Amino acid sequence: MADEIAADFCPRTSNGIPMLGLGTWQNEDPEACAESVRTALEMGYRHVDTAQAYDNEAAVGEGLASADVDREEVFLATKLWIDNLGADDVAETARESMDRLGVDYLDMLYVHWPAGEYDPEETLGALSELYDEGLIENVGVSNFMPEDLETAIDVCDAPIAANQVELHPLLQQPELRETCENYDVDVVAYSPLARGQVFNHEGLQNVAARHGVSEAQVSLAWLREKGVVAIPKATGEDHIEDNWESLLVELDRSDVDTIDNIDDVSREVDPDFAPWN
C-alpha cells in the first residue's frame, strides 16, 4: 500500500516543510542508516532529519546519494550541537556537516538546544549569515520554550521557520504550539511516538482499533491534524512503511477529542541542561 502513496501526497506546511519525515536519532550503524534513508526516500518520503550529535551525517548523506531521488526534492535538516554555537563554530561546523552529508546547502539548520555555547545574538547572527549566503534555506531552533523562541525571533535577522520539540499524544504542549502558531513558526515533533509509549495507551489503542490501523499511525495522524510535522525514527522497512501509511488515516472529531483529552503526561527526553529544568 505504501507504494501507492505518491511523494506529493504528503502535505507541506506554509514554510514548505513536508509534514512527515524520517528521523535518524540512534540510527548509528552506517550501513543500516544509509539503507533506511534510501528506503524511505524511494518509498516517497521527502524529509530527512539528522544532527551533529547523532554521529550519522555521513551515512545519511550516503543514503541520500544512493536513492533514486533528486537532491532538490528532499528537505534535509541537521542540528548544531551545543558545543558548536559560537559564531565561528556555527560557520565552521555547519560546513563540516554539509561536507559529511555531501551537499552544498541545507534546507534547515537547527540550534539543537538553547544550552552550552548558545548566545541568542551571536549564535543566531551566525545562522543569519549562512542564510544570507544561501548555504541554508531555513533557520530552525529546537527544544526552545516560548520565551526562548520569542527572544530568538527578536534577535534573528532571518526568519525562524521551525521549532523542533518533543511532542506526541502524551506530551501535547498546547502553550508552545500556540506560541509557534502566533509567530508563524512550524512545530516539528521528535519522538512523536513517545519512544513506543503510544502503543501501550488504552485511548490510542481504542482509536487504532476503530480504524484498523496501528497506534503509531493514529499518533502521527493526530499530529498532522494539529498542523504539526512529525519525524518518527525508523530503521526497518516495515516501520518506515507503517509510518508512511499514516498519511492515509483520517481521524474524525471524536477521535481527535479522545486524544486531546488524554491526561497522561510522559516526557521522554529530559537532559539536565534542558531549558525547562
Task: Respond yes or no: is residue 118 known to be catalytic.
Answer: no
C-alpha to C-alpha distance for 73 and 36, rounded to whole angstroms: 17
How many residues are listed for the chain in this entry?
277
As a whole number of angstroms, the distance between CA 143 and CA 269 comes to 10
Q: Check the CA dihedral 137-177-241-7 and report its sign.
A: negative
* CA–CA distance, 251 with 218 (Å, rounded to integer): 8
Residue 10 sits at φ, ψ, to 5 deg, of -75, 120
How far apart (Å, rounded) are the C-alpha atoms in residues 65 and 101? 9
CA 125 – CA 208 distance, rounded (Å): 45
- Could you say which DSSP state residue 10 is in? S
Buried b (16+ CB within 10 A) or exposed e, 133-168: eebbbbbbbbbbbbebbebbbeebebebbbbbbbbb
Question: Which burial class, exposed, middle or buried, applies to 227 when counting CB atoms under 10 A from its CB (0-12, 13-18, 19+)?
Answer: middle
Kindly report the backbone phi and psi dihedral angles of residue 186, in degrees, each rounded to the nearest multiple of 5, phi listed first: -70, 145
CA distance 163 to 114: 11
Q: Of 54, 110, 118, 131, which residue is the catalytic one?
A: 54
Q: Classify 181 in phi/psi space as left (phi over 0), alpha (psi -120 to 50) or beta.
A: alpha
Helix or strand (DSSP H, E) at 176: helix 174-182
Active site residues: 54
